[in-house]
Amino acid sequence: MLRAAVQSSSIATVGYDEEQQVLEIVFNDGRVYHFLEVPPERVLSLLRAESKGRFLNAEIKPDFDYRAVGRRWG
């Protein structure tokens, strides 16, 4: 999975596994979520969004299943 740090008040990193179409969001507090069956163009839109958190809430969460996968620190 490719991961990138992003500038956001709520999101630390965005990861994406294109083969599995899994979007990984690591929040600044360490919570990790996987969003399932997310197409690559939606991930690119997230990465280009001025507000990553607002885009996630409006364009990803309502449309894709997701699951909490734990916490990451450091």
Structural domain harbouring 6: 2-71
Percent of all residues in the chain with a pLDDT value above 90, rounded to a whole number: 92
Closest CA to 68 of 41, 29, 39, 19: 29
Number of domains in the chain: 1
Rounded-to-integer distance, Cα 73 and Cα 44, Å: 25
Predicted TM-score of the model (pTM): 0.93
Rounded CA-CA distance 45/69 in Å is 23
How far is the C-alpha of 74 from the C-alpha of 61, rounded, in Å? 25
Whether residue 20 is predicted with pLDDT greater than 70 in this model: the reply is yes
In tens, the pLDDT along 37-70 reads: 999 999 999 999 999 999 999 999 999 999 999 9
